[in-house]
Structure 1
């Protein structure tokens, strides 16, 4: 087919045009909105009926079961609470009984012994006082108290402590090669303890100078006459975990103190309560260390019975008997076995 005025365009081929099929001659099925609405309403109605029927049928047995379980749990809880109250009352009674007879229980267990009391930062003052009282009731003399301060454990004080240890060292003392805490502990132990009872109880200007030097530096607090030297030592653990960022390092510092005391004197006992026997506590660290082969420990020193055990542990150390006592992990027994006998004056 030619296009007038467009001679450059080729003619398009012709094609037969088919018939146009119209919808008018067919039936179109359409689902209207009302059908949708009725279907949806029917579905929700069936669901509601099912829920109502199910709830009605299950309501009584299901609720009865829940009520029965609730009653059973309450009875079990009440029984456990009653058992706990009974155990608490029994423990309180036991502690009162031990307290009443403690002087007789510890009498003459430490006859003529000399004991120095050392305290870690945060030690409970009441525990310190109670343990010292039991030691005196056992026939020993408490030479004094050496309290370590928080400053002793501060990292920035490390260089100062090392320098002070070297400066205060008496000529007769050979310090071990080790950490600053091991060297300082050895020097403090030398100033407060002696294996030989003839050397104990005497004034020593060199020992006094060592302790005074650490006190002046702010690392120790002193009471009594610890420089007159004892033969046994007890270390009171802190009542809570060391607050510093390096708990393991702080525990290691006082394990070093306990080891040095045990090496220098006739024996040492580390005493504490629940916190000290916990995973990050001083007693747990001691019992994980080979220092426990010679140093005794007691993890119930917060009780009257535990304070008696501390005395018995010191008596055992005096005879070369070491052990880990109490109720915590790695405790050998609650108290020494055999129990060290009384020692008559003579």
Structure 2
């Protein structure tokens, strides 16, 4: 049984939510061994936050309700100080989102809290440098049913032994783990490919780490996804020697020949079978999954179809466990 994340899918606010839908489903191309669906419905169970760095407009899209909310407007209208801290007003402070799976055991109970940080431009994504309150603007996650934020200054000079000091330690452990993952994956890529982003499903990894001793649980292979600067996705798993080995040919994402800023790309879980890939250069979301076969590009979404007119998504954060994707499509 998978670990159920306490993730709230509704964005509760005084605002009227504008309904944005993606409907239908038509096969448009074959990429990596599967038909690609365009205008398919995004998988349920995710809250996707987008920033237009030049505005700075800030939109959250709920894939379950197919609704969006302007987070700056929400912050301005809320009486809750944590919701007010969602506001982004200074474009000079916008770097990229760091998606943080703050998963841990607390008194024997699994806590799977998805969060993201808006990092400042001064923090280099691939540096792996220690993060303190000077490197980010806000930390965002759900407070009960509301998407809310902690400002960076809340974490300035945390008291020794405090919850905030512990949170910063866990955050930086996450950064170290991500750097280790990227070093390992970069080392097995073909010589003509440069790593852009490496990803392992945090829910499956958490289950592996906490239930590995229970022989009756069979989680299967923990896939290591590698997005390269040329727009390819490679797939690896650990062999008996704990070295990474390829599990299938790469998948080439439609319309992507190069990626200009890897720090602003995102790979996020949509289910145990696949991931959602965001590439800002082409303003596109890609669903790459396997559902019983090889991984392939399953669905593609143009962000113009789900976000407000004129909005340019420079970065995306994702919160949620996702859900099983419906593979029954209309022909």
| Same structural fold, with TM-score higher than 0.5 when normalized by the shorter chain | no
The structure whose RCO (Cα within 8 Å, separation 6+) is larger is 2
By percentage of residues, which structure has more strand? 2
What TM-score range do you get, normalising by the shorter chain? under 0.3
Q: Which structure has the greater CA radius of gyration?
A: 1
TM-score w.r.t. structure 2 length?
A: 0.25
Q: What TM-score do you get using the length of structure 1 for normalisation?
A: 0.24
More helix by proportion, 1 or 2?
1
